[in-house]
Structure 1
């Protein structure tokens, strides 16, 4: 049975009406500023995993917003940070690559804390961007009542380049309508790039793997998440259930023990929570079988990185 979900429907792409706008918007910023939460809010579906742990996003994930007047393709990127291994180098290089491969750059910052060195570094990267840049002050819901000094620390980033500044909360949704309007205003006339009912260009298998990794991020210690790669090895569909077989790859035996947990309790908790999310994704019953494998130093191995889907974009 080859079921096509609503999420990745391959329906015909229509011809855009006169005056229709479209384009690609790169969501850029340091780690933990809420880029993935913003994407999920704007497309109104969880396609990007979120976590309080830094460096959650690893792949350039596209989210698609289609209105009567425009189609916005959001490109979520890994947080820009100082890399400590080959995987980190790939993530940062791909985020930088996105800056010059989109039509608009949405530079996201955490406005609940003052601008720091990481924000200044990203601003410097964007200084020579040939494309329009919008500075988005996220996490306004966490700002103190006396927030003016916080805002001022970010306005100094935008002022030299005359970047528009928009405040919002990706968590609550406050201010997102003005943000979406600003993005559309900066777009130029263009076609539909994707069918109007599509919310992401990623296949279901990829999102299934990300939903499993999200539960690992939430349920295990700080040490584990960065050493984990999830691979969906097989999906078998019948008329009444979808069987998903996944492998969690870690670097050390001790990490495997943590993932499995005492009497397998941690793995059961991860699997149960992930299965619920996958069922929402495909809108049907799911049997999820997870294996844990040890791949020593996979983050430093070009072969493993390629096998797990991490490579430099060009």
Structure 2
């Protein structure tokens, strides 16, 4: 298909799967209505015990890469991006449902922002509320305070300030510090320039780290709320809460230690470790009730 500006540029859509089941067909079906551009659908499977990726890929003209083990999210997404010649890479969770035309809205926004390395849509919860998917990089006080206390002390001042700023910006197209990796359109040149996702993050915070590295390399991360998707909520998280909670805290510790890695910031790192380990124990206890 062509537009007044010429043919639509092709996109490689990369979906990391892990026992995702029926979610995959919903994703693939909605993706076809989300863009008129040529679309290559690639499932990177992290060790599923069923044949859902193959069945859905066959029905929708996609293909499957079986990793043979659970590589984690970022490393598997890098595998799906390897060898791509399309100018656009779409990294998307299995539990995402697209509104018609929304992927084309993201690509059109990228034409307005030639230095956009990543673009993200409005990420809706199943009840229609907007999830805060475009955020600023954490400052020392607000970021650490929110990370340590948001779950155990929801009314803490750092979280209140963060949420107030986020809610006021959810309707505006704007640059952001980072965008949620649940649904992320990437300019392939930018993604390759920074080396893709850091494979050291098994799950969680790989999107925060990527947004920071894109910014450091001179690219921007742009939130485009005119493009809309619904995040249903993954089965892999619900069935394995303890593993996911542990992975989240491990990645948070890694990221925050990296942010504050100078020698004289060792007290900050020590406080981060102590606070996150305490929060991890509390959340694991709650998950087992």
TM-score, normalising length: structure 1:
0.29
| TM-score w.r.t. length of structure 2 | 0.30
